[in-house]
Amino acid sequence: MEIRNKLNDLAYNLKWSWTPSTAELFSHIDSENWQKTKHNPVLLLKKISDERLRMLLADKSFVDRVNQEHDSLQRYLEANNTWFSENYGARDFSVAYFSAEFGLVECLPIYSGGLGVLAGDHLKSASDLGIPLVGVGLLYKNGYFFQKIDENGWQQEEYPDINYLHTPLTLVTDMSGNRVIGEVDVADAVVKFQIWKARVGRVDLYLLDTNLEENQAPYRDITDKLYGGDSEKRIQQEIVLGIGGIRALRMLGLYPQVYHMNEGHSAFLVLERMREMIQDMGKSFEEALETVRSTNVFTTHTPVAAGHDYFSIDLIERYLQSYINKLGISFEQLLALGRKRPEDENELFCMTVLALKSSSKNNGVSKLHGRVSQEMWRSLWPELPVEDVPIGYVTNGVHAPTWLSSSLRDILSDSEGNIDWQKILEVDDELLWRLHKELKRQLIELVNSRSKIGKLGNLTEDVLTIGFARRFATYKRATLLFSDEEKLAAILNNPQHPVQILFSGKAHPRDNGGKELIQKIVQLSKREPFLGKIAFIEDYDLEIARHLVRGCDVWLNNPVRPMEASGTSGMKASMNGVLNASTLDGWWAEAWESSNKGSDGFGWAIGDGKVYESPEVQNEVESRAIYELLEASIIPLFYDRDEKGIPRKWVKMMKEAISGLGPKFTTDRMLKEYVEGFYMVDRTDDKILV
């Protein structure tokens, strides 16, 4: 095979995003464009000059490297000793995984935050474990926005047109090379969509796109922006995702046994699955619902009300009446599926309710969130005590090969590439500290090369560096640390023990509260006493996240309990030995509970998990707890050095975090739980599976 074709194979399989040696190969081809294209190997290869290419192809060591990377990708794709095949053998089984966003690589900006990154990590781990799974989502012409901060510190959103022909996606075509085009009813219009495919290791992801000339102008733009429109746009998108997504699978000849809805956005898939059974297989409404239910899995992701879609009955009528008339479901039957109390005429249609009522397996994303979700949705099961409400939990995780630094990964991996987290306990303190400082240096380099507000004065590896990066949703309280500005200023400006803070994150375009938090931080960063001590990095994305969770010393997280269903950035941090200081919410409450309470083993708890009536009191108590932790524990420990300049106790905590938390909070662990408890369960009732 020609080297050029091998390079293309490597570029079009996103496996390079968790294979550092392949990514280094692309960087070697043209490091400047590798950066400029946001790590897009397809665009990189398009841009490469003939001269550079000739030169590379004449270089034997380069050609050897390409061959090596290509061989190892082939071996990965063809392996038949995966976790799934060893445990379940070869069988006719697959899972369809639906999500409105996927955070896989920074050159595909079709994610907004944790939900999307989780979905991306889900696909990557499914690939590594050999789980037969196919992803379904939407391809947004303008993606999620790029963030710019203006003079006043106010967030501006930019929506560039993305040319997906120059990304690692391919358009799905039929045998004769024609695009595969599907159709879906959107109110009275027939809307067409094309399908793009991403290769994620062994897993395929299909993305539906209505940006076709054949479509009328307003419908062409259904898939223009992620979370960009009003609720009318939202229902259009969700019809394409749910109903269109099932049709896309069928056009591709795919009939998965299990359907996993990552959040309620895709819940209309229930209707299309029922339509198939009623219209094509002659089942009754009840039979169809029961079959769908027994093979649907639903994961709810947030206790925040705005995170759940509610549609007016008028919208539902306009968009779905004619569709359901055709399949013999009455409008009342449809409404009943989306209402807690079907007879309540004032109740809106809720996608979460639709998903809960049509899935036999429901779960929250941490132990605490499972309980909170049972409470939140208990009125759907009025006859059950709250602890029996059928919503379980599978705690989220992160894809270790994506998030773990390559230096740590090399140390912890055996010859087969499996990570043994306990190995860190044998690593020399000095080596670990040196590796950490190198990652911090790389972070600083990134910060200096990126557009940012607030110049860090003497940003060096020697200053204790705190990171805070996530969506600027108000419950995450990005400015809690500034509750007492004077106190904070004194802490940051201590000449012996200086501290600096890096912020990054986007607010939803319509979330003015979130934008105000960004503005406050940006404005403070521009003047004394915070000048040179805090910086805000624009346009948070996967690349910035990777650097921050590897290169900071402390990862700060202070959501209002119990609003953070899980949180995942802290997991990325802890597996890299970046120590968490967090309120006892989401995954951290669970990590804390499973450890020796009160020990300073692997990080710090802010407060004691108590929830106060008054938000002011809550903020007061928890901000004071942060200052106290900083002054009494974190800062002294960080600056407590031996004669070689090593903070021994700190390094010990890094090792505890890596060995204790690393193995528990991966998507490999998470996927195994989904397979064992949700995907491969015995469904003998309806003889669908096993």
Ligand X SMILES: *Cc1c(COP(=O)(O)O)cnc(C)c1O
The span from the CA of 311 to the CA of 308, in Å, is 10
Q: 628: helix, coil or strand?
A: helix
Quote the crossing angle between the two packed helices 20-29 and 3-12, to the nearest 10°.
120
Q: Is residue 365 within 8 Å of 395, Cβ to Cβ? A: yes
Which CB, 293 or 471, lies closer to ligand X? 471
Exactly one of 22, 374, 405, 569 binds ligand X (CB under 6 A); that residue is: 569
Which CB, 114 or 182, lies closer to ligand X? 114
Query: Residue holding tokens 């050999």?
Result: 130
Cβ atoms within 10 Å of 416's Cβ, excluding its own:
6
Exactly one of 364, 454, 567, 607 binds ligand X (CB under 6 A); that residue is: 567
Exactly one of 540, 592, 678, 679 binds ligand X (CB under 6 A); that residue is: 540
**Closest to 686 measured CA to CA, from 315, 292, 420:** 292
Smallest distance, Å, CB 264 to ligand X? 19
The span from the CA of 503 to the CA of 492, in Å, is 15
Bond before 529 cis per omega within 30 degrees: yes
Q: Is residue 277 within 8 Å of 283, Cβ to Cβ? A: yes
Interface with ligand X in residues 113-152 (CB under 6 A): 113-114, 117
Which CB, 247 or 476, lies closer to ligand X? 476
Type of residue at 113: G
Which CB, 144 or 349, lies closer to ligand X? 144
Who's near 305: CB < 8 A, 6+ residues apart? none
Which CB, 312 or 451, lies closer to ligand X? 451
Interface with ligand X in residues 570-589 (CB under 6 A): 572
Exactly one of 122, 470, 477, 533 binds ligand X (CB under 6 A); that residue is: 470
Give the range of 49-57, 346-354, 437-445, 562-570 binding ligand X by CB under 6 A.
562-570
Smallest distance, Å, CB 222 to ligand X? 25
Query: Residue holding tokens 């690589």?
Result: 105
Give the range of 110-118, 198-206, 281-289, 329-337 binding ligand X by CB under 6 A.
110-118
Question: Could you say whether residue 299 binds ligand X (CB under 6 A)?
Answer: no
The span from the CA of 339 to the CA of 345, in Å, is 9
Which CB, 117 or 554, lies closer to ligand X? 117
Question: Could you say whether residue 568 binds ligand X (CB under 6 A)?
Answer: yes
Which CB, 514 or 567, lies closer to ligand X? 567
Query: Given 3-state DSSP classes, what are the helix, strand and coil percentages for the chain, each rounded to the nearest 5?
Result: 50, 15, 35
Give the range of 83-91, 112-120, 312-320, 408-416 binding ligand X by CB under 6 A.
112-120
Smallest distance, Å, CB 587 to ligand X? 9
Which CB, 104 or 545, lies closer to ligand X? 545
Cβ atoms within 10 Å of 330's Cβ, excluding its own:
11
Smallest distance, Å, CB 540 to ligand X? 6
Interface with ligand X in residues 320-359 (CB under 6 A): none
Query: DSSP string of 355-381?
Result: HHHT-SEEEESSHHHHHHHHHHTGGGS
Smallest distance, Å, CB 552 to ligand X? 13
How many helices and strands in the chain, by DSSP H and E? Answer: 29, 21
Which CB, 130 or 303, lies closer to ligand X? 303
Smallest distance, Å, CB 498 to ligand X? 26
The span from the CA of 616 to the CA of 622, in Å, is 10
Question: Could you say whether residue 562 binds ligand X (CB under 6 A)?
Answer: no
Quote the crossing angle between the two packed helices 586-593 and 367-376, to the nearest 10°.
130
Q: 40: helix, coil or strand?
A: coil
Smallest distance, Å, CB 104 to ligand X? 11
Smallest distance, Å, CB 224 to ligand X? 21
The span from the CA of 366 to the CA of 571, in Å, is 13
Exactly one of 209, 238, 541, 553 binds ligand X (CB under 6 A); that residue is: 541
Give the range of 271-279, 289-297, 454-462, 539-547 binding ligand X by CB under 6 A.
539-547
Give the range of 157-165, 200-208, 535-543, 623-631 binding ligand X by CB under 6 A.
535-543
Direct distance between the N- and C-terminal alpha carbons of the chain, in angstroms, rounded to an integer: 41
**Closest to 540 measured CA to CA, from 54, 236, 138, 109:** 109
Exactly one of 240, 335, 518, 545 binds ligand X (CB under 6 A); that residue is: 545
Which CB, 12 or 536, lies closer to ligand X? 536
Which CB, 354 or 478, lies closer to ligand X? 478
Give the range of 72-80, 229-237, 407-415, 561-569 binding ligand X by CB under 6 A.
561-569
Q: How many residues bind ligand X (CB under 6 A)?
A: 13
Who's near 84: CB < 8 A, 6+ residues apart? 129, 130, 131, 132, 675
Smallest distance, Å, CB 396 to ligand X? 8
Question: Could you say whether residue 542 binds ligand X (CB under 6 A)?
Answer: yes
Binding mask 427-466 for ligand X (x = CB under 6 A): ----------------------------------------
Which CB, 276 or 541, lies closer to ligand X? 541
Smallest distance, Å, CB 471 to ligand X? 6
Cβ atoms within 10 Å of 188's Cβ, excluding its own:
9
The span from the CA of 566 to the CA of 590, in Å, is 9
Question: What are the helix (H) ranges across 252-312?
Answer: 269-275, 285-295
Interface with ligand X in residues 50-89 (CB under 6 A): none
Smallest distance, Å, CB 535 to ligand X? 17
Q: What does each C-alpha distance from 419 to 130, 203, 639 come to in angstroms?
A: 17, 21, 31
Q: What does each C-alpha distance from 634 to 264, 394, 593, 604 come to in angstroms?
A: 40, 31, 21, 9
Give me 68's structure tokens. 């090596």
Binding mask 471-490 for ligand X (x = CB under 6 A): x-------------------
Give the range of 37-45, 257-265, 422-430, 568-576 binding ligand X by CB under 6 A.
568-576
Smallest distance, Å, CB 103 to ligand X? 6
- Looking at residue 180, the DSSP 8-state letter turns out to be P
Which CB, 112 or 236, lies closer to ligand X? 112
| Cross-strand bridge partners of residue 41 | none
Smallest distance, Å, CB 585 to ligand X? 11
Residue 290 CB-half CA count within 13 A: 10
The span from the CA of 138 to the CA of 262, in Å, is 13
Q: Could you tell me where the beta strands, DSSP code E, fall in 110-248?
A: 133-138, 146-149, 155-158, 170-171, 181-186, 189-200, 203-209
Smallest distance, Å, CB 435 to ligand X? 21
Q: Are strands 258-262 and 146-149 parallel, antiparallel or unpaired?
A: unpaired
Smallest distance, Å, CB 440 to ligand X? 18
Give the range of 40-48, 111-119, 196-204, 598-606 binding ligand X by CB under 6 A.
111-119
Smallest distance, Å, CB 254 to ligand X? 29
Which CB, 350 or 537, lies closer to ligand X? 537
Which CB, 115 or 337, lies closer to ligand X? 115
Q: Could you list the residues that contact ligand X (CB under 6 A)?
A: 113-114, 117, 470-471, 540-542, 545, 567-569, 572
